[in-house]
Amino acid sequence: MAGPSKPTAPRTLNYASSGGYIAFSTDASMLEEFLRSSDSQAKTLRETPGLTDATQKVAGKGTGWFGYENQAETMRTVLELMKKDSGSGTNAANAFNFLPGLMGMSSPERNFKEWADFSLLPNFDKISKYFTFNVYAVSANVDGLSFKMFTPVPPGLKAAK
């Protein structure tokens, strides 16, 4: 019989708009960084090299949902968070606590840090060439739902050929 569950702090979804973009996050400091970074004259999303071609691979007539993810920036943030709190019992790696349960292992409440030492991860600049962006689209018709996703070859890998 399981004991009483620990009460969790309520999470708040925050959002901010700047420079023609809107950002959603449960981490207020991440939104603050987004607002500070938008002070620069960064390129708009439509100026992203290869985005138009990638969009044509997933979107079409009847696309009900289209999405874009900048994998490079997502992974930069994830790596920084994991390295920063690698020794903490309440670190960003706790997001992976569900993995042992999915793999049929006991004790899913144990911290993922027992499996990996995130402080040993390389600096993002050393592996940035492996990341780019991805696009995805969802559409529906009488036959069901269709989910398409496309990730172009990162520019740093194209040059390495």
Q: Residue 116: helix, strand or coil by DSSP?
A: coil
**By the 8 A CB rule, do 45 and 21 touch?**
yes
pLDDT at site 149: 93
pLDDT at site 145: 87
Residue-wise pLDDT tens digits, 38-79: 666 667 777 888 888 998 888 877 668 888 999 988 888 888
Question: If we measure between CA atoms, which residue out of 135, 134, 133, 142 comes closest to residue 62?
Answer: 142
Question: If we measure between CA atoms, which residue out of 94, 81, 103 comes closest to residue 29?
Answer: 81
pLDDT at site 86: 58
Residue-wise pLDDT tens digits, 109-156: 455 667 777 888 888 999 999 999 999 999 888 888 888 999 999 988
pLDDT at site 131: 92
**By the 8 A CB rule, do 70 and 134 touch?**
no
pLDDT at site 130: 92
* Mean pLDDT, residues 79-83 taken together: 82
Residue 106 binned pLDDT confidence (cut-offs 50, 70, 90):
low
Does the pLDDT at position 104 exceed 90? no
Q: How far, in Å, CA of 41 to CA of 22, rounded?
A: 16
pTM of structure: 0.58
* Mean pLDDT, residues 89-112 taken together: 50
